Copies of this chain bind each other. A is one copy, B any other.
Amino acid sequence: MSHDTTEISRQLRNSGYRVTPQRQLILDAVCHLGDHVTPEAVYDHVHRIAPTLSRATVYRALHFLTEQRILAMVYMAGGRLAYEMAGPEPHHHLVCRSCDGLLELPHSVLLAFCRAMEAQYDFEVDVSHVSFFGHCTDCRDSAEA
């Protein structure tokens, strides 16, 4: 996924925050590394480009960009956290416990379910991101062998 640097910069500046080279590098890294990027992977990537960029800055930027809804947190198998670009439309993941691979799930498949939870349990499901864990075709096939 790509991102609109100009638009994001404007959004941040309008809110009184600053667009620093570090934040841009970190955002580019998440963008470039894909779907479910761990803080450590981001650090490895940006640190090669900017050796003084510290882990603290990576963690702070990931939190910050998530708060600004530019990134979204993704729950991986084993309770680990990762990040990805937050699209305008929420989407969800089927996470394979064996290979850690992700399948994207359009938001529509969850809508009915969420409404049911609301009605039956008076609970507002956070639809910004949901992960389901399990096993993908490939891993099931190799397990059967």
Contacts and interface: CB of A to CB of B under 8 A. Distances in A.
A117 B135 contact: no
Contacts of A132: 117, 123, 125-126, 130
16 contacts: A75-B75, A75-B79, A94-B117, A94-B121, A94-B123, A97-B126, A103-B123, A105-B121, A113-B113, A123-B134, A123-B136, A124-B140, A125-B132, A125-B133, A130-B132, A130-B133
Contact of A133 (B97, B126, B137): B126
A56 interface: no
State the copy count for this chain.
2
A81 interface: yes
A122 interface: yes
A145 interface: no
